[in-house]
């Protein structure tokens, strides 16, 4: 009897465990089935899952947008997940097969989630969104977008003529400074690198450093703009596509020397605070008149809005100085992206939602919080600091866009570390310019064969 | 005979839930880490390719991995030695000596342990600040107001020691309390008779205290290894982000970077396997080296 009892208990335990395992499988299947049926048949109630990174523009703007989309599309409900750490919030769910329908998350984030989806060919082709008519309007998305934004290595990562990431909010980047200080001192904002070095020596005599940067990662926009200045778009393309021998050219030599020299003009305390928790201390150097210029984007104004500042402080913004007098000056255009995972269950609805985001109604909601989209004529409607920033291209600066080309993942090789993180070592003196270039060449060699 | 069988069954059913939970939440995930280290995988799709030991091969040819390994070992050695020595010293002083405000001191020493790593990092970031930090302000008293600030978190040769300073400060209280607990059990009569026979404070410490808390010391040495590996990751992530230029990268932060930022999940798991084997081996070696006759009182 005892034997039978113990056998029964053991069998019950085993069965319950097996049931646990299979029930979770059944659960996921049933979820898939039910949603599959939903997406196929229901015109009454459809749910769109949106995941968005909460940036300096705040979370409320997305709530306003989704409410407007819902009222324009009866029967559609938007389930939003907005978080400052959106990668951590949606990552575990995606590992178990639960994908949002649309994700607003730019490349360059701490966990590189967008890059991982790009490298894994795990995105929905959004080329047809460009020819969609914007809901409630008579123009297509393509007609409304500023040309060039959907022809970059970021939006079209596979070089196959197709757009996989749509551009959302853009921001010109360049050098930020205290215009009030320049007025007080009677200094002129340098237009060439020679003038820049002369100003650096003049400022040094007064105990002010020429340059500071929040973290070395901020050199991305600086570096891409500089590549265009030094060797035009062709040189930029070759460097960002890891061309063999490109780092032995005179243009590359000039790039290395310029950044190397800038490192010697950089405030020495910068590398100590150049991390994600203390970078605002480096930005504070500009507000305290301890450094003259820093590379940044327009979001810095909001980010430092409550920080103390020197008397008469006024934000100034300029493109990179030209290589020689009268030469081209560049300002890199940073933009965020929105995309649809390949396994999204409601890709069609997600595409409609993306098309709606370029409507006048949506653009006006975004603009209220300073989130400016690459829509034609948008910059004419701006005022205050934003007008100054976005008019940089009207004042002679050329726009640079794109980034290092997408590759398959190469274990242990990270081009951002090789190019940008190493700039800390140039400032501290731990690496020479030669060692810096050798590191870039090594990484480029490793990535060349893995190009998408 | 029946009695024996019954006891066996009772023990089996008592242990079964714990063994099952152990297998589900510890054993299987650990085996999974080993399995995943043999794949090339981005982490979010079914796109997995079996690559055998290729991830390990790359790892052993990576300068970056050796740098992170070096940093981790340095931190384990440094944090263990200094924390161990100071925790023992403070524990002995607070147990053996009659100090004023002894209880207050116990609380003060233990406080860092109840603070979160983020708070400690913020405190130390402020202490290490090049311009307004406590350390540089103190140094100015000796070096003059015009002296160049010391870059505690900006000098690549110094930053790992600055990190170790914060980790030691955080850990001392915890180990001190552990040592105090075992020191309190040593009978006072042993010290009294040793004192009568002419043994000084130092001799008593090395001849009585240390041998009698040896089992406790051995246990804490294993804790030192595990906690330094885990805590170094948290401190690096909150204080330096691995910088400047990877100077404070430890192997868990490197693993995290590769698995997530560099879309190389399988490679990250290979680093995890090495960390697992390394910490296991180190704990084993320490256990073997510190084995000695068990003393009782």
Q: Please report the pLDDT score of residue B161 as a whole number.
A: 96
CB contact under 8 A, A122 and B9: no
Task: Report percent pLDDT > 90 for chain A.
Answer: 65
CA dist A97 → A24, A94, A122, A342, B269 (Å): 13, 5, 13, 11, 20
Q: Which of residues 340-359 of A touch B (CB under 8 A)?
A: 342-343
Which chain A residues are Cβ-neighbours of B264 within 8 angstroms? Answer: 409-412
Q: From the list A87, A276, A414, which residue is nearest B241 (CB)?
A: A276
B154 CA to centre of own chain? 24
pLDDT single digits (tens) B229-249? 999 999 999 999 998 999 999
Which H or E element spans position A334? strand A330-339
Q: Please report the pLDDT score of residue A386 as a whole number.
A: 80
3-class DSSP state of A231:
helix
Contacts of A312 (CB under 8 A, 6+ apart): A180, A181, A183, A184
Q: Please report the pLDDT score of residue A147 as a whole number.
A: 84
- Least confident span in A40-54, A273-287, B187-201: A40-54
CA dist B240 → A305, B130, B243 (Å): 25, 14, 5
Q: Which pLDDT band holds residue B170 (cuts at 50, 70, 90)?
A: very high
pLDDT single digits (tens) A115-132? 889 988 899 999 999 999
Q: Please report the pLDDT score of residue A12 as a whole number.
A: 47
CB B265 within 8 A of CB B45: no
Average pLDDT over residues B202-225: 91
Report the gap between the CA of B180 and the closest CA in chain A (Å).
Answer: 36
Q: Is A91 an interface residue toward B (CB < 8 Å)?
A: yes
Q: Which pLDDT band holds residue B147 (cuts at 50, 70, 90)?
A: confident
3-class DSSP state of B280:
helix
Q: Which pLDDT band holds residue A43 (cuts at 50, 70, 90)?
A: low
Q: What gap in Å lies between CA A78 and CA A66, rounded to an integer?
A: 6
Q: Which residue on chain A is closest to B59 by alpha carbon?
A: A412
Q: What gap in Å lies between CA B8 and CA B2, rounded to an integer?
A: 10
Neighbours of B46 (CB within 10 A): 9
pLDDT single digits (tens) A65-93? 999 999 999 899 999 999 988 998 998 88
Q: Please report the pLDDT score of residue A268 as a whole number.
A: 94
Average pLDDT over residues A329-355: 94
- pLDDT over 70 (residue A230): yes
- pLDDT over 60 (residue A36): no
Q: What gap in Å lies between CA A417 and CA B249, rounded to an integer?
A: 12
Q: From the list B20, B240, B264, which residue is nearest A411 (CB)?
A: B264
Q: Which residue on chain A is closest to B55 by alpha carbon?
A: A411
Q: Which of residues 198-237 of A touch B (CB under 8 A)?
A: 215-216
Q: Please report the pLDDT score of residue A19 as a whole number.
A: 42
pLDDT single digits (tens) B270-279? 999 999 999 9
Which chain A residues are Cβ-neighbours of B7 within 8 angstroms? Answer: none
Q: Nearest Cα to A310, choosing from A115, A180, A427?
A: A180
CB A132 within 8 A of CB A86: no
Q: What gap in Å lies between CA A17 and CA A341, rounded to an integer?
A: 34
Q: Please report the pLDDT score of residue A32 as a whole number.
A: 36
Q: From the list B47, B240, B260, which residue is nearest A112 (CB)?
A: B260
Neighbouring-strand partners of residue A331? A399
CB contact under 8 A, A425 and B59: no
Q: What gap in Å lies between CA A242 and CA A247, rounded to an integer?
A: 9
- pLDDT over 50 (residue A42): no
| Helix/strand number for chain A, H first, E second | 19, 9
CB contact under 8 A, B244 and A95: no
CB contact under 8 A, B44 and A117: yes
Which chain B residues are Cβ-neighbours of A5 within 8 angstroms? Answer: none
Average pLDDT over residues B42-63: 88
Q: Nearest Cα to A146, choosing from A369, A378, A387, A367?
A: A378
- Interface probe, candidates A14, A275, A450, A452, chain B, greatest B C-beta count within 10 A: A275
Q: Which pLDDT band holds residue A41 (cuts at 50, 70, 90)?
A: very low
Q: Please report the pLDDT score of residue A44 as a whole number.
A: 66
Neighbours of A40 (CB within 10 A): 7
Q: Are strands A166-178 and A330-339 parallel, antiparallel or unpaired?
A: antiparallel
- pLDDT over 50 (residue A30): no
CB B89 within 8 A of CB B97: no
- On whether ipTM exceeds 0.90, the answer is no
Q: Which pLDDT band holds residue A16 (cuts at 50, 70, 90)?
A: very low
Q: Are strands B39-40 and B49-50 parallel, antiparallel or unpaired?
A: antiparallel
CB contact under 8 A, B267 and A412: yes
Report the gap between the CA of A412 and the closest CA in chain B (Å).
Answer: 7
Average pLDDT over residues A94-103: 90
Looking at every residue in chain A, the average pLDDT score rounds to 87
Which chain B residues are Cβ-neighbours of A4 within 8 angstroms? Answer: none
Average pLDDT over residues A269-296: 94
- pLDDT over 70 (residue A40): no
pLDDT single digits (tens) B156-169? 999 999 999 999 99
Q: Please report the pLDDT score of residue B1 as a whole number.
A: 54
Q: Please report the pLDDT score of residue A48 as a whole number.
A: 94
CB contact under 8 A, B258 and A278: no
- pLDDT over 60 (residue A23): no
CB contact under 8 A, A95 and B43: yes
Q: Please report the pLDDT score of residue A25 as a whole number.
A: 36
B34 CA to centre of own chain? 23
Residue of A25 and A44 predicted with greater confidence: A44
Q: Which of residues 140-199 of A touch B (CB under 8 A)?
A: none
Q: Which pLDDT band holds residue B96 (cuts at 50, 70, 90)?
A: confident
**Can you read off the two tokens belonging to residue B49?**
């390719």
Which chain B residues are Cβ-neighbours of A51 within 8 angstroms? Answer: none
A214: alpha, beta or left? (left if phi > 0; alpha if psi -120 to 50): alpha
CA dist B208 → B186, B211, B297 (Å): 9, 6, 10
pLDDT single digits (tens) A144-154? 998 888 888 89
Q: Please report the pLDDT score of residue A193 as a whole number.
A: 96
Average pLDDT over residues A149-165: 90
Average pLDDT over residues A396-423: 91
**Can you read off the two tokens belonging to residue A260?**
């190397």
- pLDDT over 90 (residue A380): no
Which chain A residues are Cβ-neighbours of B125 within 8 angstroms? Answer: 277-278
Which chain B residues are Cβ-neighbours of A110 within 8 angstroms? Answer: 260-261
CB contact under 8 A, B59 and A412: yes
Q: Which pLDDT band holds residue A370 (cuts at 50, 70, 90)?
A: confident
CB contact under 8 A, A122 and B243: no
Report the gap between the CA of B289 and the closest CA in chain A (Å).
Answer: 35
Angle of helix B159-184 relative to helix B102-114, nearest 10 degrees, comes to 130
Contacts of A248 (CB under 8 A, 6+ apart): none
Report the gap between the CA of B273 and the closest CA in chain A (Å).
Answer: 16
Q: From the list A216, A272, A343, which residue is nearest B153 (CB)?
A: A272
Residue of B99 and B10 predicted with greater confidence: B10
H helices present in A405-432, as ranges = 415-416, 423-428
Q: What gap in Å lies between CA A129 and CA A29, rounded to an integer?
A: 30
pTM: 0.84
Q: Which residue on chain A is closest to B266 by alpha carbon?
A: A411
Q: Which pLDDT band holds residue B122 (cuts at 50, 70, 90)?
A: very high
CB contact under 8 A, A412 and B154: no
Contacts from A129-132 at CB under 8 Å and sequence distance 24+?
A: A129/A163, A129/A166, A129/A351, A129/A354, A129/A355, A130/A163, A132/A351, A132/A352, A132/A355
Query: What would the DSSP string read from start to end of B203-257?
Result: HHIIIIIHHHTHHHHHHHHHHHHHHHHHHHHHHHHHHTTT-STTTT--HHHHHHI
Q: Which pLDDT band holds residue A310 (cuts at 50, 70, 90)?
A: very high
CB B250 within 8 A of CB B72: yes
Place of tokens 């570390």: A417
Which chain B residues are Cβ-neighbours of A215 within 8 angstroms? Answer: 241, 243
Q: Which pLDDT band holds residue B199 (cuts at 50, 70, 90)?
A: confident
- pLDDT over 80 (residue B4): no
Q: From the list B9, B151, B263, which residue is nearest A116 (CB)?
A: B263
Task: Report percent pLDDT > 90 for chain B.
Answer: 68
CB contact under 8 A, A421 and B155: no
pLDDT single digits (tens) B24-34? 999 999 999 99
Average pLDDT over residues A37-45: 50
CB B257 within 8 A of CB B67: no
CB B30 within 8 A of CB B275: no
Looking at every residue in chain B, the average pLDDT score rounds to 90
């Amino acid at each position: 009897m005892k034997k039978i009892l113990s056998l029964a208990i053991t069998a019950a335990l085993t069965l319950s465990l097996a049931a646990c395992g299979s029930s979770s499988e059944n659960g996921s299947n049933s979820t898939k089935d039910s949603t599959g049926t939903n997406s196929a048949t229901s015109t009454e109630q459809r749910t769109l899952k949106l995941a968005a990174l909460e940036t300096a523009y705040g979370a409320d703007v997305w709530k306003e947008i989704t409410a407007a989309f819902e009222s324009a599309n009866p029967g559609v409900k938007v389930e939003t997940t907005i978080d400052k750490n959106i990668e951590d919030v949606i990552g575990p769910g995606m590992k178990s097969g639960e994908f949002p329908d649309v994700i607003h998350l730019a490349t360059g984030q701490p966990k590189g989630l967008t890059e991982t989806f790009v490298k894994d060919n795990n995105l929905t082709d959004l080329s047809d969104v460009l020819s969609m008519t914007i809901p409630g309007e008579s123009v297509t998305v393509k007609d409304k977008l500023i040309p060039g934004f959907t022809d970059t290595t970021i939006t079209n990562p596979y070089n196959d003529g197709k757009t996989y990431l749509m551009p959302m909010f853009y921001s010109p980047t360049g050098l930020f400074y205290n215009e009030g200080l320049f007025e007080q001192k009677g200094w002129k904002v340098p237009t060439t690198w020679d003038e820049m070095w002369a100003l650096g020596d003049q400022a040094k005599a007064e105990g002010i450093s020429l340059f500071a940067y929040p973290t070395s990662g901020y050199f991305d926009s600086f570096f891409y703009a500089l590549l265009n200045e030094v060797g035009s778009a062709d040189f930029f393309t070759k460097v960002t596509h890891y061309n063999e021998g490109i780092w032995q050219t005179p243009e590359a030599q000039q790039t290395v020397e310029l950044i190397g020299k800038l490192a010697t003009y950089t405030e020495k305390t910068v590398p100590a605070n150049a991390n994600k928790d203390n970078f605002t201390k480096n930005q504070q150097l500009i507000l305290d008149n301890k450094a003259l210029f820093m590379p940044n984007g327009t979001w810095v104004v909001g980010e430092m809005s409550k920080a103390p500042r020197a008397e008469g402080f006024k934000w100034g913004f300029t493109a990179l100085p030209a290589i020689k007098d009268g030469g081209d000056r560049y300002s890199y255009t940073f933009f965020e992206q929105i995309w649809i995972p390949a396994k999204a269950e409601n890709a069609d609805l997600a595409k409609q939602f993306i098309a709606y985001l370029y409507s006048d109604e949506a653009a006006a909601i975004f603009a209220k919080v300073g989130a400016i989209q690459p829509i034609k004529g948008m910059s004419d409607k701006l005022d205050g600091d934003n007008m100054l920033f976005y008019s940089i291209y009207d004042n002679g600066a050329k726009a640079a866009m794109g980034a290092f080309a997408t590759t398959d993942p190469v274990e242990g090789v990270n081009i951002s570390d090789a190019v940008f993180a190493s700039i800390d070592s140039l400032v501290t003196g731990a690496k020479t310019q030669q060692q810096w270039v050798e590191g870039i060449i090594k990484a480029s060699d490793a990535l060349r064969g893995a190009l998408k | 005979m029946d009695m024996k069988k019954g006891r066996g069954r009772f023990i089996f059913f008592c242990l079964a839930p714990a063994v099952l939970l152990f297998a589900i939440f510890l054993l299987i995930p650990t085996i999974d880490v080993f399995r995943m280290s043999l794949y090339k995988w981005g982490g979010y799709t079914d796109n997995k390719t079996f690559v055998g030991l290729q991830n390990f091969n790359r790892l052993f040819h990576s300068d970056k991995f050796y740098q992170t390994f070096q940093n981790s070992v340095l931190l384990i050695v440094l944090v263990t030695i200094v924390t161990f020595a100071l925790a023992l010293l403070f524990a002995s002083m607070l147990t053996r000596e009659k100090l004023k405000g002894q209880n207050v001191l116990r609380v003060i020493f233990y406080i860092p342990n109840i603070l979160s790593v983020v708070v400690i990092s913020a405190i130390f970031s402020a202490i290490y600040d090049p311009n307004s930090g406590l350390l540089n302000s103190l140094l100015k008293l000796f070096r003059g107001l015009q002296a160049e600030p010391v870059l505690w978190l900006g000098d690549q040769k110094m930053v790992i020691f600055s990190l170790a300073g914060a980790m030691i400060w955080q850990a001392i209280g915890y180990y001190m309390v552990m040592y105090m607990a075992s020191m309190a059990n040593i009978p006072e009569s042993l010290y009294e008779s040793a004192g009568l026979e002419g043994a000084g404070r130092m001799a008593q410490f090395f001849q009585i205290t240390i041998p009698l808390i040896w089992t406790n010391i051995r246990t804490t040495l294993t804790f030192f290894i595990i906690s330094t590996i885990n805590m170094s990751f948290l401190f690096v992530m909150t204080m330096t982000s691995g910088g400047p230029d990877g100077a404070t990268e430890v192997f868990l932060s490197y693993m995290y970077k590769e698995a997530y930022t560099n879309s190389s999940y399988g490679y990250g798991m290979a680093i995890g396997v090495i960390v697992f084997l390394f910490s296991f081996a180190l704990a084993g070696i320490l256990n073997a080296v510190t084995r000695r006759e068990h003393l009782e009182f």
